[in-house]
Amino acid sequence: MFWFAALPTLLCVVTVSFSEPTTCEDAQKACSVTACGIPVTNGTPGRDGQDGAKGEKGEPAGQWPQGLQGPPGKLGPPGSRGAPGTQGVKGLKGDHVDSSVTETKLANLELRSLKVELDRIKNEVHTFSLGKRSGKKLYVTNGEKMPFSKMKAPCAELQATVATPKNIEENKAIMDMANEHTFLGITDEVTEGQFVYVTGGRLTYSNWKKDEPNDFGSVDCVCLQQDGLWNDVSCSSSFVAVCEFPA
């Protein structure tokens, strides 16, 4: 009876002894599954083991190169106005100005200005020949020929006017001064056919050539001829300029 009960175990031992060399664990597995015939089921998973020892420090990662600069951002809104700054330090007191010194300087400036003006007038007068007098009037000329429109300017710069005879003596003085044809300060530019002085007023004296003024064409100015007679002519003609200083 004992032998029959121990038979499976002996068979297991014999089978294992004649098989290829194996480990004890393999033998047990073979016995339990094949020879022993005892059914086996998988057990439940075991618990996690304890944490292992801390590993060595790893190598540092390589450093990447710096990327390109990005585009500038949009302009932000303007900031609020700042508070006014503090008042600056008061400046040093200026030098005292003597009013009498200032007045003297102004007077000197005025004198220099008057001298410059006087020199200018003298230079302009020197460009004219010595004049002729008739009564209290003085007539001068520079001998240049020019149209009537340009003749008025040099006379005005001397504070004079274009020569205008108001009697026979003045007419002769102007004729002698010019020694050739010259304009008189008389025109009918304002009212056709009505000759008046350029300084204003109707004629008080005239010495027209026969059948003059005939007002032929555009003849608004008056010419004093070398014979002393007057003729109406075009203002664009050129004659010697004679200026008159008033009495």
pLDDT tens-digit series, residues 119-130: 666 666 555 555
pLDDT tens-digit series, residues 206-215: 999 999 998 7
Distances (CA, A) of 3 to 7, 32, 247: 6, 20, 184
Residue 26: how many CB atoms within 10 A of its CB?
13
pLDDT tens-digit series, residues 132-177: 788 888 898 888 999 999 998 888 988 899 999 999 999 999 999 9
Category of 179 on φ-ψ map: left (φ > 0), alpha (ψ -120 to 50) or beta: left
pLDDT tens-digit series, residues 45-69: 777 778 778 877 766 666 667 777 8
Write down the pTM of the prediction.
0.49
Least reliable range by pLDDT among 17-21, 186-190, 217-221? 17-21
Helix (H) or strand (E) holding 139: strand 137-146
Ordered by where they begin, the domains of the chain are: 145-245 (3.10.100.10)
Taking the C-alpha atoms of residue 162 and residue 148, their distance in angstroms, rounded to an integer, is 9
Q: Which amino acid is at 227?
A: D
